[in-house]
Amino acid sequence: MATAGLYRRVLPSPPAMEFSSAEGKQLFCEALQQGTMEGFFTLISHFQTQCEPAYCGLASLAMVLNALAIDPGRKWKGPWRWFDESMLDCCEPLEEVKVKGTTFGTVACLALCAGAKVEPFRTNELTVDDFRSHIVRCTSSQHIHLIASYHRRPFKQTGAGHFSPIGGYHAEKDMVLILDVARFKYPPHWVPLSLLWEAMDTVDEATGLRRGFMLISKTRISPSVLYTLSCRNESCVRMAKYLIENIPSLLESKNPNTISEIVSLVLTAFPIECQDLLRQGSETRGAEENYSDSVGPAVASPASRTYGKEAASAPLVPPYGVEVPLVVPLPPVVPVRPALVEDSTQLVERFLHLQPPTYS
């Protein structure tokens, strides 16, 4: 009796070239000599198959986070700390991701919450030549990786939107190696860079925005003074709005001349709703120091996600890349009119563009 279901798909070739084919192996050897397969080895050491049909974004991110040796700071199974798709749930419930997949902005949000440095780019923000430069930079290093968000149609593949890491680049042929995390469907394969750009330069119907790619690297900021809260935490969202929208307007209108004037201006206009964020950071830091005094040097570990007013449990990079002052004497606070509601993942993406690029 025939078994129901599907066993893989035949990779349309051309335009793709299977990695394990004779031609694919030749491209690998030549790219290796050119020095644009450096990132391949850390990625292939952590290559995984997405565990759900709609988990391509989560699987790609977990693979890259593990390749960068970022400690999640919480257990996966048994005593082991390790990134798994099931742990990437702070920006969107996994049950929703199973049904509808995830968006470009949400994957960027998850990467930042996990403690990585993220540089997201949509195709309407740069050119194909810029993309090629980023590809060369990432494939020439083991310390920064690129996840592409693209539509399968230009490759004549079945399916729609998809995420996968890029594992290498062949300069002479101008081809990139896609480490497809849907390994139950297609194997890793080489594609022309220009065609990948075309596949990324499509609109995601869920958001109405263009797809693109993101560069992910290990943050160089010491984790001991930073904390992570869920991007669904209201205080955290308010804080991000204050830093992105209110502070630039304040500085432009008041035109402070000294550091003291700037600090005073920023703290005086500090939103009431954000005081909980500082209080949580202060209480968590105090608990950490007390624990360190009682048991010796503590091993820094990232915070697990929190909801509402629940405090973060350990240090890491905050969701919006903002260093949170832990103990600050605040002057009288002037209430600020609440900003209009904005999707938190889009807010994260906007804030990421305010950060200077990270080069390894």
Tens-place pLDDT, residues 27-50 = 999 999 999 999 999 999 999 999
Angstrom distance (rounded) from CA 293 to CA 297: 8
At 109, list the tokens. Answer: 């949000």
pLDDT at position 185 over 80 = yes
- Domain ranges within the chain, ordered by starting residue: 17-218, 223-352
Which pLDDT does position 280 carry in this prediction?
Answer: 62
Confidence of residue 264 (pLDDT cuts 50, 70, 90): confident
Angstrom distance (rounded) from CA 164 to CA 141: 18
**b (16+ CB within 10 A) / e for 301-339:** bbbbbbeeeebbbbbbbbbbbbebebeeeeeeeeebeeb
Residues whose CB is less than 8 angstroms from the CB of residue 17 and which lie 6 or more positions away in sequence, other chains included: 23, 24, 27, 175, 189, 190, 191
Q: Is 71 a catalytic residue?
A: no
Angstrom distance (rounded) from CA 52 to CA 184: 11
Residue of 246, 244, 236, 234 whose CA lies nearest to 270: 246
- CA distances to 32, 288, 303 from 283, rounded to whole Å, are 50, 9, 14
Angstrom distance (rounded) from CA 267 to CA 250: 11
Q: Is 56 a catalytic residue?
A: yes
Which pLDDT does position 197 carry in this prediction?
Answer: 97
- Active-site residue among 145, 162, 170, 189? 162
pLDDT at position 80 over 50 = yes
Residue of 303, 272, 279, 291 whose CA lies nearest to 113: 303
Which pLDDT does position 284 carry in this prediction?
Answer: 55
Topology (CATH) of 17-218: Cathepsin B; Chain A (3.90.70)
DSSP string, 125-169: GS-HHHHHHHHHHHHT-SSEEEEEEEESGGGT-SSSEEEEEEEEE
Q: Tell me how crowded residue 221 is: count the other CB atoms within 10 A of its CB.
A: 13
Which pLDDT does position 234 carry in this prediction?
Answer: 62
Residue of 159, 133, 135 whose CA lies nearest to 148: 135
Angstrom distance (rounded) from CA 219 to CA 357: 12
Q: What is the pLDDT of residues 250-260, one digit of tens each?
A: 788 888 888 88
At 140, list the tokens. Answer: 């020439």
Q: Is 180 a catalytic residue?
A: yes
Q: What is the pLDDT of residues 294-314, one digit of tens each?
A: 444 444 443 333 333 333 334
pLDDT at position 125 over 90 = yes
